[in-house]
Amino acid sequence: MKYKSLLVGLFSAAILAGCGESEQSLSEKAGKAVGEGVTGFLSGVGSGIDQSMVVETELGAGASKAGLVKTTAKSNGMADAQKSFSVYLVANEPFKGTLLAKAYDKDGQEIGRAKSEVDLQKDDADYIIFAFSERMDSQLVHKYLVDTVQ
């Protein structure tokens, strides 16, 4: 215990001695380093959360044939009562109709369905939101399949 107290005292004295009127004091340097570290940490957390929201989504043959292209799809979060996800679609051709999203678990079993009305002009794009039943356990979803309604 005595050694710990001595080490803490020496460390404190060294910090205080370094905090003189130099161009940039040790405390300023330490504060800057901590601030940069926290900023980098928060940035990493943000990108990690953003990446964890991405969901595997495929377009069915009908949607692809209609000229729709998917770029990204993300869950709208665990706090989302509607159990929804959004997919960014680009229309290479005009598309007006209903899209159906099916949710599948890791065993390939369908566990939910949702429809969304879409009206996109040629070279238009938008986030399309699919809201599932609140009874669907979105944590079980392994992938979504989005296709046109026959």
So what's the pLDDT on residue 12? 56
pLDDT in the model for residue 2: 53
Per-residue pLDDT, 44: 45
The DSSP bridge partners found for residue 59 are 146
Residues 81-133 have pLDDT tens digits of 557 889 999 999 999 999 999 999 999 999 999 999 999 999 999 999 999 99
Domain range spanning residue 40?
2-52
Residues 90 and 46 in one domain: no
pLDDT tens-place string over residues 24-66: 566 565 555 545 554 444 444 344 435 556 778 999 999 999 9
Task: Tell me, yes or no, whether 12 and 68 share the same domain.
Answer: no
Residues 17 and 19: their CA atoms lie apart, in Å, by 5
pTM reported for the whole predicted model: 0.64
Q: Are residues 32 and 61 in the same domain?
A: no
CA angle 139–75–99, rounded 5-degree value? 105
